[in-house]
Amino acid sequence: MGMVIFFLLFLYVIAAVAVIALVRRYLTTNRWVIAVLMTIAILLPTYDIIITNVLGTYYCYSEPNPKTLIKKKVEYPISIYWENNIHQGFEAEGRGLMIINYLDGKHLQKMALNGNDGNIYVYEVNASVWEPLKLLEQERGEKYFDTIKAIGDAIIRQNQKIYTKETMPKMNYTVTFNEIKLNPLSQKFLYSDETKIINNNTKETVAYNRRIMHYFYNILPDFALGNRGYAPEPMCGFRFPRDFERKVFPTLKYMYGGEVANIISVNEKSYNKNIKGEK
């Protein structure tokens, strides 16, 4: 793929040089005109790189600084409320995956999730619910993962309680995931979101992570997947929100895999909204 990009750039340079040479030969040799043409030739494929890095530097040095901060790690949060506002809440499949990945009944005994229907879904278990997995731990074959899913489905059937945000039970911690609104110009080149973890008993923000991501450059589009808005490496901030949460809650192991938040990733959602113009 690198050779293809190099070849296209080579063709562009040849064409730009040819245009400038024709102008000098047939139209004018004025050095200011030639200088303007050369500037346009340089900026045409690269203007977004310049604007992106100027804006990115501004936001990376703006508050909050640092962009990633962990004041304390929590091994036994016991209860957590996750509020995912980027996806407008967790769909049913996402709630099921959150249960089997985080609700171990020991370190995390109660979980609340904002649903995509506006309700708050609460699940509470103790560690004994996962006992059937111990006999299957060594093999981790098909039966093991079928058992995980069966336990998760049973928790939803038997333990699920539905509240509003006003009536939901109090949780020890809240984890929020929100998009940071940038100004209209910056939104054309950058994407930003923030994960914030709050101790509900003290109202203290114990950790946060604000990412500044840049969209793929014109001369270096997303050849790999073709459906991503921003490049995978952040200009500042910690790359993966889920891994950041695990740094704060190190005993929550994300045990069994699966896309937790939603089938559509944040990056793809950003691409659909800001590049394709979808609502």
Spacing of C-alpha 71 from chain mean position = 22
Q: Who contacts 103 (Cβ-Cβ below 8 Å, separation ≥6)?
A: 109, 111, 123, 125, 155
pLDDT of 241 reads: 86
At 129 the three-state DSSP class reads: helix
pLDDT of 260 reads: 45
The backbone torsions φ and ψ at residue 70, rounded to the nearest 5 degrees and listed phi first, read -125, 110
Are 207 and 197 contacting, i.e. CB atoms less than 8 angstroms apart?
yes
pLDDT over 90 (residue 231) = no
pLDDT over 90 (residue 243) = no
Are 207 and 177 contacting, i.e. CB atoms less than 8 angstroms apart?
no
Q: Which residue has the higher pLDDT, 171 or 267?
A: 171
pLDDT over 50 (residue 183) = yes
Task: Please state the pTM of the whole predicted model.
Answer: 0.81
Q: Which residue has the higher pLDDT, 54 or 37?
A: 54
**Rg of the chain on CA atoms, in Å:** 25
Cα–Cα nearest to 253, from 243, 262, 263, 261: 243
Spacing of C-alpha 53 from chain mean position = 20
Whole-number Å distance between alpha carbons of 102 and 258: 12
Whole-number Å distance between alpha carbons of 70 and 3: 42
pLDDT of 258 reads: 47
Q: Which residue has the higher pLDDT, 217 or 41?
A: 217
Mean pLDDT of the 30-38 span: 72
Q: Which residue has the higher pLDDT, 94 or 208?
A: 208
Mean pLDDT of the 180-187 span: 92
Mean pLDDT of the 197-205 span: 97
> Average pLDDT over the chain, rounded to whole?
83
pLDDT of 226 reads: 56
Domain ranges of the chain: 2-45, 69-279
